[in-house]
Amino acid sequence: MIPFNHRLKSIIENKKSCLCVGLDISPEMLGSEDLNDFKIHARKVIDATRDLAVAFKPNFAFFERWGSAGFSWLEETIDYIGSDHIRIADAKRGDIGSTACQYAHSVFTHFGFDAVTLNPYMGQDSIMPFLENPENGAFILCRTSNPSAVDFQDQQLAGIPLYERVATWADILNEHRNVGLVIGATAQDELIHIRALVPELSLLIPGVGSQGGDLYNSVKFGNQSGAALINISRGICFSGDLSERDIRNTAGEYVQKMNEVFHEKRKNN
Amino acid sequence: MIPFNHRLKSIIENKKSCLCVGLDISPEMLGSEDLNDFKIHARKVIDATRDLAVAFKPNFAFFERWGSAGFSWLEETIDYIGSDHIRIADAKRGDIGSTACQYAHSVFTHFGFDAVTLNPYMGQDSIMPFLENPENGAFILCRTSNPSAVDFQDQQLAGIPLYERVATWADILNEHRNVGLVIGATAQDELIHIRALVPELSLLIPGVGSQGGDLYNSVKFGNQSGAALINISRGICFSGDLSERDIRNTAGEYVQKMNEVFHEKRKNN
């Protein structure tokens, strides 16, 4: 049994790509209100990026907005991706232990995801049910990419920002080598600081692309010890004229830049 | 247009009940793996408590564990409850603004809930999309009922615990009179302290019943200014022999105690 963090690291090193394609398909961006158009577009994004991506990350909000029909589409999407890729449930769950057990059943057993995103606010008992199986990963929100991340995450607890407390606390939960953190690429200083602090944890880095975070530094510092995935959602899903060709070209450009960082890293080692 | 907090306060005062029935029906508690048994039991709980309850609160985890079939059951459940009760989506959502818009569409437009529970960790832009319509309420996690709540919520930020910072911050977001807080009945001192600090916010108080929180104080202090709902989930859903009669009797006993507090309160005013 290979722990999640080791599996992720090994896939990234073999592929010299750390691309995670976020499946966040909104009516506002697609210009349609017909669920069938969404299914077609999601399959197009997956087909266009299958050989480039290490992971796919459907955000539950974009499925849940359609209710049960949306969750049926999520089930189809997981099957369509298949088991050659890391499948991350971007669900940002956080609830009391007995409820967290139900969510863990949902994402790992029912839907068959490999990993999940979690919110740390309710503490350890809200996280533990997701860590039982070392093959399943859990990325805990640490320093997020949105402007309001500063409201609480940057606040000082006895001289240490909350996000840093979350990082060192998450490191203690990493007994099975399956804990990761979410750190936005829009917070480069925090990213570099956290990477040095918790070298073994996997990182999931959103905020490159439409949110403007730096790709080069995120790939380089994120992957300098443990593994780091760079997530691009809207920047790939709604690239150019929304054709498979434009989506693929954009994803290819990101992966080309990732390749260069990994080659540079190898040369320097 | 009546703001959510005013509507809730008025319903509670008319009914002299502040009972919120949590619909958390797990296979472990029901002793079945057949979704049809869950549907029958949920309808039984709703029928048994309809005239006693002010609100019903389905927790999404217990539906999501069944995937799309579970969300179809959630849609049926909302219809079955009908619009005479406050319907709270216990979803504990928290995501960047553009994603939060999709979740807000899900809970208020697609499913037709009156209110939602939210996680404050990602800050203001993760909350605002839920507050646009004053008729819809948002209960923000403040001091939760689980043992690990202490991990972060009780930590001091410049001498003030995080949960208190969340409470005063939530108060600022209450421009439309539709913001509430989740405070566990297991944390009585914190509950009394917060109620005094933010008299206008609605409270959603879990933790009475199977988690052992104090009912009398929660009703009394919770409702001394703004409105407070007392949520009971397992304590009602799995009462006695699981018959409609036992469920109703247990809910009736809770409401009887609530009545007494409201009558005592009226006498003292």
CB neighbour list of residue B146: distance below 8 Å, 6 or more residues apart: A96, A97, A122, A123, A125, A126, B184
**Cα–Cα distance between A216 and B129 in angstroms, integer?**
33
Q: Does residue B91 surpass a pLDDT of 80? A: yes
**Is 0.90 topped by the overall pTM?**
yes
Q: Does residue B210 surpass a pLDDT of 80? A: no
Considering only CB atoms, which chain A residues are within 8 Å of B119? 92, 94, 119, 121
- Which one of B15, B92, B257, B265 is the catalytic residue? B92
**Closest Cα to residue A178, out of A140, A142, A137?**
A137
| pLDDT confidence of residue B266 | 78
CA distances from A162 to A19, A68, B1, B87 (A): 28, 36, 39, 33
Q: What is the mean pLDDT of residues B234-246?
A: 96
Name the minimum distance, in Å, from the CA of B256 to any CA of chain A.
28
| pLDDT confidence of residue A158 | 83
CB–CB of A153/B135 below 8 Å? no
Name the minimum distance, in Å, from the CA of A184 to any CA of chain B.
11
Percent of chain A clearing pLDDT 90 (strictly above)? 92
The two beta strands, A160-161 and A156-157, are antiparallel
For residue B145, the domain's CATH number is 3.20.20.70
Considering only CB atoms, which chain A residues are within 8 Å of B106? 61, 64-65, 67
Name the minimum distance, in Å, from the CA of B265 to any CA of chain A.
32
Confidence of residue B232 (pLDDT cuts 50, 70, 90): very high
Closest Cβ–Cβ partner in B103, B120, B158 for A61: B103
Say yes or no for a CB contact (<8 Å) between A95 and B62: no
CA distances from B71 to A138, B62, B68, B111, B263 (A): 24, 10, 5, 10, 40
- Assign residue A154 a region (left: φ > 0; alpha: ψ between -120 and 50; beta: otherwise): alpha
Q: What is the mean pLDDT of residues B238-263?
A: 96
Tens of pLDDT, residue by residue over B177-198, are 999 999 999 999 999 999 999 9
Exposure of B45 in the CB half-sphere (CA atoms within 13 A): 28
Residue A92 falls in the annotated catalytic set? yes
Say yes or no for a CB contact (<8 Å) between A98 and B26: yes
- Which one of A92, A257, A265, A267 is the catalytic residue? A92
| CB of B99 less than 8 A from some CB of A | yes
End-to-end CA distance of chain A: 29
Q: Does residue A209 surpass a pLDDT of 90? A: no
Confidence of residue B245 (pLDDT cuts 50, 70, 90): very high
Sheet holding A160-161, edge to edge: A160-161, A156-157, B156-157, B160-161
| CB of B117 less than 8 A from some CB of A | no
What is the residue-wise DSSP string for B246-263?
HHHHHHHHHHHHHHHHHH
- Which of 1-40 (B) contact A at CB < 8 A? 24, 26
| pLDDT confidence of residue B211 | 75
Say yes or no for a CB contact (<8 Å) between B71 and A75: no
| pLDDT confidence of residue B177 | 98
Q: What is the mean pLDDT of residues B232-253?
A: 97
Tens of pLDDT, residue by residue over A213-257, are 899 999 999 999 999 999 999 999 999 999 999 999 999 999 999
**Closest Cα to residue B164, out of B172, B173, B153?**
B153
Query: What is the total count of domains within chain A?
Result: 1
* Chain centre to alpha carbon of residue A26: 18
Tens of pLDDT, residue by residue over A119-140, are 999 999 999 999 999 999 999 9
Residue B230's domain comprises 4-268
Say yes or no for a CB contact (<8 Å) between B152 and A144: no
| pLDDT confidence of residue B79 | 98
Q: What is the mean pLDDT of residues B14-22?
A: 96
The two beta strands, B160-161 and A160-161, are unpaired
**Cα–Cα distance between A64 and A9 in angstroms, integer?**
31
Burial of B30-52, coded b for 16+ CB within 10 Å and e otherwise, reads beeeeeeebbebbebbbebbbeb
